[in-house]
Amino acid sequence: MEGEETNANRGSRAESAGEISAAAKRRIVHEPHLAAQRIWCEFDGARLVLRGQVPSYYCKQLAQEAVADLEGVERIVNEIEVLW
């Protein structure tokens, strides 16, 4: 029926969300200044949320730039905390 969400549809969206989160994490880990940082990525619809802790605003910005052009991501919410 039109407008109804089936289990199959939910599963494919969950896989896509997981794939996007994993792709974001891979990009962050491959940034030399971010490889050892504790950063988590969570994809929710078209929004990618970055959380964690980094030692500088530079690292916070690097994390956001690393995921800026991921396919399927319309908005990035950068909630990374900078520790002094």
Give the model confidence (pLDDT) of 48-61 as tens digits: 999 999 999 999 99
Residue 77 lies in a domain: yes
Residue 4 has pLDDT above 80, yes or no: no
What is the C-alpha to C-alpha distance for residues 11 and 77, in angstroms, rounded to an integer? Answer: 24
Residue 1 lies in a domain: no
CATH value at residue 42: 3.30.1340
Q: Which tens digit of pLDDT belongs to each residue from 9-24? A: 334 454 588 999 999 9
Q: What per-residue confidence (pLDDT) applies to 2?
A: 43
Are the C-beta atoms of 37 and 54 separated by less than 8 Å? Answer: yes
Domain that holds residue 63: 7-82
Count of domains forming the chain? 1
Q: Six-digit token pair at 12?
A: 């494919």
Residue 2 lies in a domain: no
CB neighbours (10 Å) of residue 1?
Answer: 4
Report pTM. Answer: 0.79
